[in-house]
């Protein structure tokens, strides 16, 4: 059975116990990449592959490096964005959360609220709330990471925010947006133009290894250098 702390603990105690459990386990793996707990974090997830990547920025470095890829235990819905409250869709797009997005008292062990709906979603009349990356193995529009998995991810995000990172970006894609995979998507698919727009942001990060600032212009996502103002 996988190890995790007692979910019945009060939220702050649960988060502290999780951090105490996983930090010694994370430290040697982080060190291999020149990283440490508290370094800036960026999260990127792919629904089709059920994978969530944790990228981190080493102290003094200009670019992020991939620390670890976690299997997503459960998602829900189908390819395409979340449109409405209750549709059970996992969103697709560009999101972020600050310290207030951390939910140590989640009924799914630990969680981070990704900030859906964002400016793009609201522009297009999309509704919904409480979309999380959380523990457990059940999803109704969220990314369920298992309790041991979320303890590591939550601890890294909590430490980064406590260390001065203002917000953590979360990029959610329908699938790995390679040129080959995009060619497989039908040109007549309902969401193909939306996905092409997402690929612009995906490719920005692939080239720069720094997550771009995301803006909404004319109902589309636009991408600029990092550290500009948020959407």
**Catalytic machinery residues:** 134, 142
Tokens matching residue 182: 């995009």
CA dist 171 and 165 (Å) reads 17
Contacts of 52 (CB under 8 A, 6+ apart): 43, 44, 45, 46, 69, 70, 71, 72, 133, 143, 145, 153
Pairing of strands 168-173, 93-97: antiparallel
Q: Is 187 exposed, middle or buried (0-12, 13-18, 19+ CB in 10 A)?
A: exposed
CA dist 220 and 198 (Å) reads 9
| Long-range contacts from 96-100, C-beta under 8 angstroms, 24+ separation | 96/167, 96/168, 96/169, 96/170, 96/230, 97/167, 97/168, 97/170, 98/161, 98/166, 98/167, 98/168, 99/161, 99/162
CA dist 181 and 203 (Å) reads 14
- Which single residue is written with the structure tokens 């979340």? 82
- Which single residue is written with the structure tokens 């309790």? 147
């Amino acid at each position: 059975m996988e190890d995790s702390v007692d979910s019945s603990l009060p939220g702050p105690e649960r988060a502290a116990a999780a951090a105490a459990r996983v930090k010694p386990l994370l430290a040697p793996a982080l060190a291999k990449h020149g990283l440490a707990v508290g370094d800036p974090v960026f999260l990127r997830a792919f629904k089709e592959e059920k994978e969530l990547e944790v990228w981190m920025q080493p102290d003094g470095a200009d670019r992020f490096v991939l620390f670890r890829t976690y299997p997503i235990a459960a998602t829900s819905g189908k390819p395409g964005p979340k449109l409405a409250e209750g549709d059970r869709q996992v969103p697709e797009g560009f999101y972020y959360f600050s310290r207030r997005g951390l939910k140590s008292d989640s009924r799914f062990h630990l969680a981070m609220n990704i900030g859906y709906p964002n400016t793009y979603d609201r522009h297009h009349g999309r509704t919904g709330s409480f979309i999380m990356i959380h523990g457990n193995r059940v999803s109704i529009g969220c990314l369920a990471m298992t309790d041991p998995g979320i303890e590591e991810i939550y601890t890294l995000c909590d430490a980064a925010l406590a260390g001065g990172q203002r917000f953590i970006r979360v990029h959610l894609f329908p699938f790995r947006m390679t040129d080959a995979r995009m060619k497989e998507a039908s040109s007549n698919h309902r969401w193909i133009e939306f996905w092409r727009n997402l690929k612009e942001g995906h490719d920005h990060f692939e080239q720069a290894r720094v997550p771009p600032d995301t803006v909404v212009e004319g109902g589309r996502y636009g991408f600029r250098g990092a550290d500009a103002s948020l959407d």
